[in-house]
Each structure stands twice: as structure tokens, then as C-alpha cells.
Amino acid sequence: MPNTLGPDYLKNSVWKPHLFDGKVVFVTGGAGTICRVQTEALVLLGANAVILGRNPAKTEKAAKEIATLRPGAKVLGIGNCDVRNIENLTAAVDRTVKELGHIDFVIAGAAGNFLSPFTSLSSNAFRTVTEIDLIGAFNTAKATYDQLREHKGHIIFVSATLHYKGLPFQSHAAAAKAGIDSLTKTLAVELGPMGIQSNGIAPGPIEGTEGFDRLVPEDIRQRSLELIPLGRLGKTVEIADATVYLFSPAASYVTGQILVVDGAEWQSTSGAMNYYPHSVIATGSQDNKL
């Protein structure tokens, strides 16, 4: 299985073994590339987990595989869960508490995205992405709020850097992620007095992920690499390590922050898509090489 963690993670890790013993993490989009590896790191460090997804077979299979990483680990896979439906999430929380006892950590990572010029993007397509990403993030926080309050928990929203500068063909996803960042900061202020931390992680180009493979066309991948000051693509383990840091006691006074993990890509350019000539962007043609 590519881009998953194994026992070597603990051998090479800077993190203290058993760091998350007794903790339970609730993860939307947990069968996806990045959120799966985030979950794996927490499980290897002692946590139990529940991962949620739309596809039952994929979600349950991923949960079983993650559970094998640590003897005694409990990992639930709950499929047929649509984050746009608050009742789906509430039922998943109830099942988690019944089977795993409580929820300490939440990762809101369910997302949808595709490339589309604004001129070819339908209102329905825009709404679908914003509902999955932004409404889904809100619903996840809302459904888990009681558990987060009771256990002085911590929620991490998986964001992106799409909205930091104008990025062609991403008006839908960029708007949704901008909303997620705002939600992250607002919840940090509103829920902080209850002992709840709210932070975000914004991955840049991470090799071998569904997002990178789908959203960065092959004809500009080499050029996109040249835009990254560190000179390489990121690794999923680096997103996992950022997650462990934020959930660990080392970040106990960190809240309302968006931790960017992108090799400084966004600070040097608007991203790989700006290699498309403005004349191509302006046409909004579906014949563009997307």
C-alpha cells in the first residue's frame, strides 16, 4: 500500500511512544490519502480511531488495515456517511462514544475538488464543493462539540493554500477553504474558554496523494516542482507529523492557527497553475489541457 505508515514510523519518529494512549480520534475523510496517514500516526502512537467516508467498502477496509498497525488498536470504519448531512455525523458520534467511549480529537478532512475554469463551472458544481468542504467542516464540529467540550478536545481542519493568492480553475475549492480557515479561527475564539483548541493544517503539493495526482496536470508537474523553494514535493508523513504536533502537549497553547506545510511554495508563486498563459485562462474553454 503506497503512502501509508508502518512500524518504521515509530523507529524513526521524534515523538514519544504511547503519546496518545487512551485518546480517541474522529476523522472525516479518513480513508483518503492524507487523512488516512494522519490517522495512522495517531494510532501508532496509542490512539484509537473512527474514520468516516462515503464508500462503505473502502472505509471499512482502510479501518481494518489501520488497526493492524498496533496490537490492540481499535479502529472503526463507518461508511455511507455524508458530511453534508448532520444526522449522519451525529449517528457516527453516537456509535463512536458507544464503542470507543469518548472523543478527544477531531480531524475534519472530507473534501471534494476538481479543475474547472469559472466560465465552465456550474452553480451546482460550486455549491457541491462548498457544501462538502465548508458545510461538512461545520457539521463535523457541530456534531462533535459536546464531546470536545466534555474532554477539552482539539479539532483540526484540513485546509489548503489555494486561496492565499488567485489560483486559476479553483474558484470553488478556494472559496470553501477560505471559509474553513475563517471557521477555524472563529471557533478558536468562541470555544477556547471551554478548553477546546481549533487549528488547521494547509498541505501544499504532497506526492502520491489523490489531490496532487488529480489537480496537477502531468504537463506542468516538473515545472511545479521548480516553484517550491525546498526543491521537492512534500510527503504524507510530514502532514502526519504536523498533526501529531498540534494534538500533542507541545501545542497546548496553540489555537486559531493554520499550519502551512508546503515547502514555502505559496510564498514564492501563486502555484503551478500560473504556468498556463493568461490567454488560455481567459478563454475558459473546456478544450484547455486540464
- Mean pLDDT computed over 161-184: 96
Res 208 pLDDT > 90 = no
Please answer whether residues 202 and 25 qualify as being in contact, where contact means their C-beta atoms are separated by less than 8 angstroms.
Answer: no
Q: What is the pLDDT of residue 72?
A: 97
Q: Which of 171, 94, 88, 102 is nearest to 135 (CA)?
A: 88
- Mean pLDDT computed over 82-109: 98
Please answer whether residues 38 and 244 qualify as being in contact, where contact means their C-beta atoms are separated by less than 8 angstroms.
Answer: no
Q: What is the pLDDT of residue 111?
A: 96
Res 92 pLDDT > 50 = yes
**pLDDT tens-place string over residues 139-152:** 999 999 999 999 99
Grid cell 458545510 in the structure block, residue: 135
Alpha-helix runs per DSSP H in 131-248: 136-150, 171-191, 210-215, 221-226, 236-247
**Which residue type occupies 75?**
V
Please answer whether residues 136 and 155 qualify as being in contact, where contact means their C-beta atoms are separated by less than 8 angstroms.
Answer: no
Catalytic positions, written as ranges:
159, 177
**Domain positions in the chain:** 16-283
**pLDDT tens-place string over residues 50-76:** 999 999 999 999 999 999 999 999 999
Domain 16-283 has CATH 3.40.50.720: yes
Q: What is the pLDDT of residue 75?
A: 98
Q: What is the pLDDT of residue 279?
A: 45
Which is higher by pLDDT, 109 or 8?
109
**pLDDT tens-place string over residues 280-290:** 445 555 444 43
Query: Which of 20-29, 224-233, 250-259 is least confident?
Result: 224-233
